[in-house]
Amino acid sequence: MARLPEYVQIKEVGARDGLQNEKKWISSADKVAWINMLSESGLSEIEYTSFVNPKMIPALSDAREVGKKIRRNPKVLYSALVPNMKGLEYALEAGIDGASVFMSASEMHNQKNINKTINETFPVLDEVVKEAKDTGKRVTGYISTVFDCPYEGRISPEQVLRVCEKLLESGVDDLSLGDTIGSAVPTQVEQLLEVLMKHYPKEKLILHFHDTRGMAIANIMTSMHYGINRFDSTVGGLGGCPYAPGAAGNVATNDVLYLLHGLGIETGINEKKIQDAGIYIQNKLGKILPSRSLAYFANAQ
């Protein structure tokens, strides 16, 4: 078994994957205040919104306003979800350091989520990636449903590999592999990484676990034993994809930090500031978030 990494990079996706799934409207001013709190926590990347069709994701319909108002910390890379050229145009106007393009390994989730077949999606993203790279942006390619699809069931590593190849050909810098419905167990993670790591160095791969069934921490441990040291997570465990029935929140940044710091792995992130950010957004949403370590922190206050 490989040694655990000494450093792990966390991308905080709460303001995007987290809020996209919330029915309660969070005002632009509150989003900005929350992102500003996150910016001072030591995080090196914050995915702060989505420049998608606002009718599909009403919770983030103020993406441009939020992007223009956040206080930028030069140590943080600010990225956002971008589905097409219109989204890229808005994102560049609002200010991004990184663009995250996205699609699925499974045909049906791709259709429901972005209204295109997989083959129709490649040229659209190709144009976005090229333009984003020409303007000097870092580009991540998300691939959803890499383990299971809510409509098609089990997805093979070969299906994922095909999408990885196309996105890397387009010029994405790295790939974020999404357990969209939080269904994977560690053996599925092993099977996928065994295939992908024959083709790509670990530096290209980010793992993005939702925690529907409480398996995300086990899956992160498994990934780290394969040398993976980049993960996406959300404060409090917010999140989910409105176009993936049954998908619960992402793994909580609070819980991941408790694990990593307990293992002696560096992240550069201040755990207390993430807990405070968890309390802030929990109060704004008016509900208890799923993170266990956030609950422990809140009870101890």
Shortest separation between residue 117's beta carbon and ligand HMG, angstroms: 11
What are the structure tokens assigned to 53, written together?
A: 């069709």
- Binding at 46: pick from Mg ion, ligand HMG, none (beta carbon under 5-8 Å per type): none
Candidate residues 17, 22, 45, 255; the one interacting with Mg ion per rule CB under 5 A: 17
Pick the piece of the chain touching Mg ion (CB under 5 A) from 12-20, 59-67, 72-80, 253-261. 12-20
Alpha-carbon gap, residue 229 to 205, rounded angstroms: 9
DSSP string, 145-169: -SSEETTTEE--HHHHHHHHHHHHH
Among 235, 271, 255, 203, residue whose Cα is nearest residue 19: 235
Other C-beta atoms lying within 10 Å of the C-beta of residue 239: 29
- Binding at 278: pick from Mg ion, ligand HMG, none (beta carbon under 5-8 Å per type): none
Shortest separation between residue 252's beta carbon and Mg ion, angstroms: 13
Shortest separation between residue 1's beta carbon and ligand HMG, angstroms: 27
Which residues in this chain contact ligand HMG in the complex, by CB under 6 A? 17, 20, 50-54, 56-57, 81, 83-84, 86-87, 90, 102, 113-115, 142, 144, 178, 180, 208, 210, 241, 243
Alpha-carbon separation of residue 54 from 49, 57, 62, 83, 179 (angstroms)? 12, 5, 8, 12, 24
Q: Catalytic residue, from 32, 46, 139, 241: name it.
A: 241
Active site residue 149: no
Q: Find residue 137's DSSP bridge partners.
A: none
- Binding at 84: pick from Mg ion, ligand HMG, none (beta carbon under 5-8 Å per type): ligand HMG
Report, as residue numbers or ranges, the catalytic residues.
241
Which residues of the shown chain bind Mg ion in the complex (CB under 5 A)?
17
